[in-house]
Chains A and B, each alone.
Chain A
Amino acid sequence: MAEVPNTPLLDELEKGKWPSFVTEIKDAAKSNDMCKDLLGILEKSYNEKIGHWKHGGIVGVLGYGGGVIGRYCDVPEEFPGVSHFHTMRINMPAAWFYTSDALRKICDIWEKHGSGLTNMHGSTGDIILLGCRTDDLEPTFQDLAREGFDIGGSGSDLRTPSCCNGMARCEWACFDTMRACYDLTMHWQDELHRPAFPYKYKFKFAGCPNDCVASIARADMSFIGTWRDEIQVDQDKVKEAVDKDGVDMINDVVLRCPGQCMQWDGNKLEIDDSSCRHCMHCINVLHKALKPGKDRGCTVLIGAKAPIIEGAQLSSVLIPFMKMEPPYEELKDLIERIWDIWCDEGKARERIGEFIQRVGLGNFLEAIEMEPTPEMIAHPRENPYVFYEEYYEEGDEEEEEE
């Protein structure tokens, strides 16, 4: 057994009230040699102010191209235990619900094959098994598969879709986020496991405009629940919120409304729903008195990404309102059309948001056979450099009329 190294710098991070990742690594190191070398190499990084990992190499499980990220340390002779330290991404259950039994099974498998360290969870949502040797990848995968767990996405493929807990534990969910997430994940297992796209493609499903899973910032396709009829108001409970809970209706609700569509006369809350921007603020504050309307669905947005390569983008509206009902045929059809054009015309490592910027949203809409609508833009163009696609010669008009 390797020795647990001295880690005076890391030890400083065991102090304080917040739970410490160093304690977690040390705990795992009690029964796992890889973690002892992880402590050693991390202490080295803390001393030298530089990381010691290399990525790359083709590693994975049989038949898959994604879901495993090759990771090697650059000083293997010093820390042989982490000479291979690959990441396995495991597709989490929708909205990260578990039973204790399921978690214990994952732990047992990971104790047998890997470092015993995990991220619960990675940024995209997967269960991250942190630190696996190449030879152990396939056996880990098969043991997990026998317990009902499969690998998630990595590389230029569909990344593991994720969702908020929606109807499971939230009164604001305007569609069944977990069902949609599960359905689309199952439908495109091949795209999830075998990279064939220009770059990554992420789906995130949020039940309401509060967007608890940050879909508008992080998903190539964001599904954000909304409604298109009237906010449901219980005037008695509005009064109760004022009288009992001390809500300051003017300052806390009326003046915070971005659509300026509310009036409060001391007795009754009037909402002009035709000006409602569906932002959720009034519903958030008056959470017993107000509810989203009954005609519910989602807004579909496209193109969010972090900076690499062409700069960060937020998703922008593609479909202002869509009913979200299984089997989601209309939606799957649309997604296939988007992927077809992006796979044909997209450059390597070009996200869909960058692709749309490059070819123009108007051209993109034409290619996926969708009509432009004013909800897609913040405002019409300001610059007059319009690429009109055709012009006429004298006499063309007559020909056109024929």
Chain B
Amino acid sequence: MAEAQQERITDIGPPHYEKFLPPVIKENYGKWDYHEYVKPGVYVHVAEGGDKIYTVRAASPRLVSIHKIRKYADLADKYCDGYLRFTSRNNVEFLLTDESKIDPLIKDLEELGHPVGGVGNAISNIVHTQGWVHCHSAATDASGIVKAVMDELNEYFTSMKLPAKIRIALACCLNMCGAVHCSDIAILGIHRRPPKVIDENVPKQCEIPNVVAACPTAAIRPAEKDGKKSVEVIEENCMFCANCYTVCPAMPLNDPLNDGVSIWIGGKVSNARHEPMFSKLAIPFIPNNPPRWPEVVEAVKGIVELWAKHARKYERIGEWIERIGWPKFFKLSGIEFEKEHIDDFKYAGLTFKRSTHITF
């Protein structure tokens, strides 16, 4: 080797955040007084001593190339002394002290194709998973649906005209990498066909006791087929979670005819007003229809606009529906109520209506 072997570095942990904080933040750490919205996508935080920091928030597709990150870096150098951050919903935020630089930065971001918004009573970016781009158990794509939905909802990202904030999330299977189960609107990839057992691969690729234990409904049991050890699936007990596939690649569930998307609504994580709540099933199944999933886009947009029209100020989707009741939601939305809407798993009875509080 031409170069001397460098010493190996290990377990250093993440870089200390102080290296990356702009001076105005270091000086006012823990001393912020209030914040307010300047305009869509822009807010200002004011410190007790009067210092200000402006934040410009721009959309990002989450999946970004190094070329795009370098462009972000160039913009940070040009306008923010090199400081920027990302949000938990995959937006990029530029941190400025000079108010006069806000508009030129927004212009540059828009030229780059990155709308500015997602602040206040708006739709923030859709958090999502990997989908067909990179995941083994995806029942649908993720980035593609998100792109199609956000193209359609862009005006609610770049304005603050909604009754409250709204958080949409997408997970491409029941693993739900992301807070999909507590979102105002969740788009969830689902399988609807039990795993196909590839018997010749089971002994090579899988630990049978692990596979059996992985099934939440005990639908998988060991079986001998042609004298070889494998497993069998009691199909009526399968609810398509793909947990078996995660521990045993010889049990694929992916299926073009039966995979698709379900829509869940009314969840939230914030404790403001109502306690945090889970999203609930609105639409049991929409088939995959790439490249732009028009039925999914239409369904999501329909729910957003129905809520925007009927909700009181500050009412999140779940709070609104809790006030008006689910029967009224189904009536207003025109979504058909079906057998799948009724829970039939553990503690299902807790979700039944147990009063005569009914509106007509």
- Residues of A in contact with B (beta carbons under 8 Å apart): 9-10, 12-13, 15-25, 27-28, 35, 38, 42, 45-46, 48-56, 62-64, 71, 85, 87, 91-104, 106-107, 110-111, 116-125, 130-131, 142, 145-146, 148-150, 162, 164-165, 167-171, 173, 176, 178, 182, 185-186, 189-190, 193, 209-218, 224, 248, 251-252, 256-258, 277-281, 284-285, 287-288, 306-312, 314, 347-349
Contacts and interface: CB of A to CB of B under 8 A. Distances in A.
Given A107-B66, A224-B271, 17 more contacts: A24-B64, A51-B132, A51-B254, A71-B136, A95-B17, A121-B90, A142-B9, A168-B17, A171-B33, A209-B272, A218-B179, A281-B272, A281-B314, A287-B35, A308-B246, A309-B214, A311-B345
B63 A21 contact: yes
Contacts of B87: 96
Contacts of B59: 18-19
B17 A111 contact: no
B291 A13 contact: yes
B235 interface: no
Nearest to B256: A49
A27 B16 contact: no
Interface stretch (B137-145, B226-234, B299-307, B329-337): B137-145
A308 B20 contact: no
Contacts of B66: 28, 106-107, 110-111, 116-118
A206 B309 CA distance: 32
A104 B9 contact: no
B318 to A, nearest CB: 13
3 tightest Cβ-Cβ pairs between the two chains A and B: A16-B151, A306-B176, A100-B73
A387 to B, nearest CB: 19
5 contacts: A9-B290, A49-B288, A111-B66, A169-B95, A214-B88
Interface in B123-144: 127, 129, 131-138, 141, 143-144
A142 B8 contact: yes
Nearest to B177: A123
A186 B82 contact: no
Contacts of A285: 314
B220 to A, nearest CB: 13
Given A9-B290, A21-B147, A53-B134, A103 B17 contact: no
The main secondary structure of chain B at its interface with chain A is loop
Given A18-B151, A99-B20, A306 B273 contact: no
A35 B267 CA distance: 36
Contacts of A53: 134-136, 138
A268 to B, nearest CB: 20
Contacts of B70: 103-104, 107
B14 A45 contact: no
A85 B74 CA distance: 29
Contact of A98 (B13, B29, B85, B275): B85
B151 A168 contact: no
Interface in B285-319: 288, 290-292, 312-314
A258 B273 contact: yes
B272 A311 contact: no
Contact of A314 (B62, B86, B182): B182
B8 A182 contact: no
Interface of B: 6, 8-17, 19-21, 25, 29-30, 32-36, 45, 53, 55, 59-70, 72-74, 76-77, 82-88, 90, 92, 95, 113-115, 127, 129, 131-138, 141, 143-144, 147-148, 150-151, 154, 171, 174-182, 205, 210, 213-214, 216, 241, 243, 246-247, 249, 254-256, 259, 267, 269-276, 278, 288, 290-292, 312-314, 345-346
Contacts of B114: 19
A111 B69 CA distance: 12
Nearest to B273: A281
Contacts of A145: 9-10, 12
A185 B13 contact: yes
Contact of A252 (B13, B36, B82, B313): B313
A50 B8 contact: no
A104 to B, nearest CB: 5
A347 B210 CA distance: 11
A95 B64 CA distance: 19
A13 B9 CA distance: 42
Contact of A193 (B11, B65, B69, B147): B11
A389 B332 CA distance: 52
Contacts of A176: 30
B249 A54 contact: yes
B53 A169 contact: yes
B14 A185 contact: yes
A100 B77 contact: yes
Given A216-B276, A348-B210, A13 B292 contact: yes
Given A94-B17, A149-B14, A171 B45 contact: yes
A96 to B, nearest CB: 4
Contacts of B131: 51
Contacts of B77: 100
A50 B254 contact: yes
B85 A119 contact: no
Contacts of A173: 30
Nearest to A19: B61
A117 B65 contact: yes
Contacts of A102: 15, 19-20
Given A169-B53, A182-B14, A21 B61 contact: yes
